Structure 1
Amino acid sequence: MNSAWKTNFTTFAAYLKLNRGYSDHTLSAYRSDLEKLPAYLDLRGWEMNPDRIERFHLDDFIQYLAELGLGPRSQARLISALKTFFGYLLDEKIIPSDPTELLKAPKLGRKIPEVLTYQEVRDLLGVIDLSYDHGLRDRALLETLYACGLRVSEATDLKLTNLYFDQGFIRVTGKGNKERIVPIGGEAIHHVEIYLEYVRKVLPVIKPEAENFVFLNRRGGSLSRISVFTAVKKYAAEAGIEKNVSPHTFRHSFATHLIEGGADLRAVQEMLGHESILTTEIYTHLDTDFLRETIMSFHPSNQR
């Protein structure tokens, strides 16, 4: 890989970090994907800078990786990275035209996420033993995940200064450090307030770096995502739920239950913090039984 590629990858990474707030992990994944292109060009003997890349080079590159066994989902991710990279180079006038403009990602079958019914959510929450401090904390955390549709990282990073219970909402920092306002219901507020008053407030020590986090571990530090994942698996097993349940399942269930209840899709998009409405629309594929029942019950043609 020549110096032109290295320089552009470095400046592109700086752009993503400063302008889009991408994490180091995401930047590493982008670079790993993008470095495959100059490596392939070298393999073919096409030693060239980014400004000489044409559409057929990229078509050959994608076809080569597909033949190596790169799956459609990974191909789509790679093409997305290429489009972002060459779009950046075009904006910076480093290349005369964008070779990815007509590059299409492979069609992907949509993966329907696992969802709990409302009763399963209540059953899972109901097995948590509230006689223990960690039980009060876990109940408050999982109620918040389900009430607000949070990612697990958003819940573990939730700040005391971002709780506005009097107004009925919380402020969440999501992907790319983007903030959004999410309503929170009375049930979740109730359990969070119990946890704050009877568990968090009486912790013997709270580490300085964790003083503003809502949910803490027993040692007064920030709660890890792994510990939340482990707890959810345990409670699901105790509740007799055989589905593959994770903290993210609460987010999927939140979205599905809202849409089944007739919520506006764009409102759900806003609460989930999805960039594209297309990401949210996956949940509309989950409620066909509900839609059928609604039509059979309420459409005038079915009232006779």
Structure 2
Amino acid sequence: MDNVKALSEFKEYMQIEKNYSSLTVLHYTKDIESFFQFMKEQGIVNLAKAEYFDARLFVSKLFDESYKRSSISRKISSLRSFYAYLMREGKVEQNPFQMLALPKKEKRLPSFFYEVEMEKLLQSQFDDGPIGQRDQLLLELLYSTGIRISEAESLKLENIDFSVGTILVYGKGKKERYIPFGSYARDLLRIYINDGRQQLLQKGKKNHSFLFVNFRGGPLTARGMRDILNKIMDQAAMHAHIHPHMLRHTFATHMLNNGADLRSVQELLGHSNLSSTQVYTHVTKEHLRKTYQSFHPRA
């Protein structure tokens, strides 16, 4: 069986029957061609002669060449689909990639701010006007409660209970949870609600109960919040990109670093499974490891 012809027919199948995009077809083609090169190196005469052992050897070679796990997984999937097509067309009798396990994805540790970095952000200069009040509150609330940006976007005045110092948050799946806020957030909330927020509403001649308001008086969107956080980063002269989830990661990491138990942090974050929260223990361990290597004389 001619490899080039088989690939050409498969590309036609992807374009016409599967309606794949040109970019997807290109990725499939490159993945399959890399296996063709491997076959040539190994003396495998045609696609029908490749076996499970050959597929495993191909993957081992990819690991040796330092391919990312995600790239290896994609190549396996591409070749699995290619061989499934060839089997359907009666051109091969087996799919050597069918039983091949996909490599586990690399677990990336969440990025966060160290306490000194977070303090520098919180000490940024904010003007006393309504926009400055709002921006300072947004930063403080995201860090001090660990809420998601979508939860901050939907936060309303009736969700804030000053008597016990908690906010009611509607998380994923409309699940409710109460989160305490500290004295810094309490002071900023009172100032903003009684002053800055009122000014923004009057300016836009709007009337609604959303906590965060844009300069036109309407509810502040998640995109608007991201722009605000990036502006704060620029003003603090911190040359890094910030995304709202970094503040959530920072909240969890600082809680655990200062002795909070995992179950409490899980509840505050609104995680259904403890495994979602446990990633932050890896962050704290990495922090301890770096501290040890930096300061212990025999590290």
Which of 160, 164, 174 is the equivalent residue of 1:177? 174
Q: Specify the alignment match of 1:207 in structure 2.
A: 206
Of the three residues 230, 233, 254, the one matched with 2:230 is: 233
> Of 132, 152, 155, which residue of structure 2 is paired with 1:155?
152
Contact in 1 for aligned 2:149/2:245 (Cα 8 Å): yes
After the TM superposition, which parts of structure 1 deviate over 4 Å for at least 4 consecutive aligned residues?
A: 72-75, 103-106, 289-295
Find the partner of 1:245 among 239, 242, 247.
242
Residue aligned with 2:179, SS: strand
C-alpha distance 277-213 of structure 1, shift in aligned 2 (>3 A) = same
2:33 is matched with none
Query: 2-side partners of 1:70 and 1:221: how far apart?
Result: 45
SS for the counterpart of 2:219 is coil
Residue of structure 2 equivalent to 1:262? 259
Tell me the distance in 2 between the aligned counterparts of 1:272 and 1:129: 28
Distance verdict in 2 for CA 1:73–1:132, change over 3 Å: farther
TM-score, length basis structure 2: 0.61
1:111 maps to which residue? Answer: 108
Distance 1:275 1:73 in 2: 31
Give aligned-pair identity as a percent.
38
Change (3 A) 1:196 1:280: same
Q: Counterpart of 1:213 in structure 2: which amino acid? A: F
SS of alignment partner, residue 71 of structure 1: helix
Spell out, residue by residue over 1:156-214, the C-alpha distance to the aligned partner (whole angstroms, 9 max, x if none). 11011110121011100111111111111111111111101111123314535xx1211
In the alignment, is the contact (CA less than 8 A) between 1:173 and 1:179 conserved in 2?
A: yes
Number of matched pairs: 207
2:206 and 2:73 map into 1 onto residues whose CA distance is 40
Quickly say closer, same or farther: Cα 1:176–1:106, change in 2 above 3 A. Answer: farther
Change (3 A) 1:74 1:128: farther
**Counterpart AA for 2:149:** V
Q: Is 2:211 the partner of 1:221?
A: no
User: 1:161 & 1:104 partners in 2: Cα distance?
Assistant: 51
Q: How does 1:132-151 map to 2 (within 5 A)?
A: 132-151=129-148
CA shift, 1:107, in A, is 1.5
Asked if 1 retains the 8 angstrom alpha-carbon contact of 2:169 and 2:178, the reply is yes
Task: Give me the whole-angstrom Cα distance separating, in 2, the residues matched to 1:274 and 1:216.
Answer: 28
Counterpart residue number, 1:71: 70
CA contact (8 A) 1:171 1:182 kept: yes
Cα offsets for 1:70-117 (capped at 9, x unmatched): 937998xxxxxxxxxxxxxxxxxxxxxxxxxxx987422211121112
Query: What SS class does the counterpart of residue 272 from structure 2 fall into?
Result: coil
SS at match of 1:196: helix
RMSD: 3.4
Q: For residue 175 of structure 1, what is the amino acid of its counterpart?
A: K
* Corresponding position of 1:121: 118
- Indicate the structure (1 or 2) with the bigger Cα radius of gyration: 2
Where do 1:278-293 residues align within 5 Å?
A: 278-288=275-285, 291=288
* 2:200 is the alignment partner of 1:198: no
Give the whole-Å Cα distance in 2 for the aligned partners of 1:240 and 1:186: 27
Tell me, in whole angstroms, the C-alpha distance in 1 between the residues paired with 2:72 and 2:159. Answer: 36
Runs of 5+ unmatched residues, structure 2: 1-16, 20-54, 60-67, 75-99, 293-299
CA distance in 2, matches of 1:200, 1:72: 49
**1:165 and 2:174 are equivalent in the alignment:** no
* TM-score, normalising length: structure 1: 0.60
Using the TM superposition, give the Cα deviation of residue 248 of structure 1 relative to its aligned residue in structure 2, in angstroms.
1.4
